[in-house]
Structure 1
Amino acid sequence: MPENDDLMLLIGAAHASADIARKFWKQSPETWDKDAGAGPVTEADLAIDKMLHADLRAARPDYGWLSEETEDDTARLKHDHVFIIDPIDGTRAFIEGSKTFAHSLAVAYKGQVTAAVVFLPMLDKLYVATSNMPASLNGRPIAPSQPKPEQTPTVLATKCNFNPDRWKNGTPPYERHIRASLAYRLCLVAEGRFDAMLTLRPTWEWDVAAGALIAQKAGAIVTDKTGTKPVFNTPQAQLNGIFAAGPVLHKAIRSELA
Structure 2
Amino acid sequence: MIDASPGRVLSDVDLAVRLAEVAGKLLVSVRSAGMFEAGALGAAGDHTANAFLVHALRALRPDDGLLSEEMSCDGSRLGQDRVWIVDPLDGTREYGEGRDDWAVHVGLAVDGVATIGAVALPAVGLTLSSGSSPPLPALRHPPRMVVSRTRPAAEAIAVAERLRGELIPMGSAGAKAIAVVRGEAEIYLHTGGQYEWDNCAPVAVAAAAGLHVSRVDGSPLRYNAHDTYVPDLLICRPEFAEDVLAIVRELAGGRSGS
TM-score, with length taken from structure 1? 0.84
- Corresponding position of 1:82: 83
- Corresponding position of 2:70: 69
- Contact 2:143 2:163 (8 Å CA) reproduced: no
Which of these residues, 127, 134, 143, is aligned with residue 136 of structure 2? 143
- Contact 1:205 1:239 (8 Å CA) reproduced: yes
- Corresponding position of 2:256: none
Alignment of 1:228-247 (within 5 A): 228-247=219-238
Which of these residues, 142, 155, 161, is aligned with residue 152 of structure 1? 142
- Corresponding position of 1:110: 111
SS at match of 2:63: coil
- Corresponding position of 1:221: 212
More strand by share: 1
String of CA shifts for 1:2-43, please: whole Å, max 9, x gaps. xx711111222122212211222152536659xxxxxx9411
TM-score, with length taken from structure 2? 0.84
Alignment of 1:179-194 (within 5 A): 179-194=170-185
More helix by share: 2
Alignment of 1:1-258 (within 5 A): 5-26=11-32, 27-29=34-36, 41-130=42-131, 135-136=132-133, 141-143=134-136, 146-147=139-140, 151-158=141-148, 160-163=151-154, 173-257=164-248, 258=251
Separation in 1 of the partners of 2:30 and 2:162? Answer: 40
- Residue 99 of structure 1, CA deviation: 1.8
Residues 28/154 of structure 1: CA separation in 2 closer, same or farther (3 Å cut): farther
SS at match of 1:65: strand
Residues 243/210 of structure 1: CA separation in 2 closer, same or farther (3 Å cut): same
SS at match of 1:22: helix
Residues 21/201 of structure 1: CA separation in 2 closer, same or farther (3 Å cut): same
**Identity between Structure 1 and Structure 2 (%):** 24
Separation in 2 of the partners of 1:111 and 1:82? Answer: 8
Unaligned runs of 5+ in 1: 34-39
The residue type equivalent to 1:185 in the other structure is K
Separation in 1 of the partners of 2:232 and 2:35? Answer: 32
String of CA shifts for 1:106-151, please: whole Å, max 9, x gaps. 1111101221100112211110114xxxx42xxxx2326523xxx3
- Residue 72 of structure 1, CA deviation: 2.2
Separation in 2 of the partners of 1:178 and 1:165? Answer: 11
User: Aligned pairs, how many?
Assistant: 239
- Contact 1:68 1:87 (8 Å CA) reproduced: yes
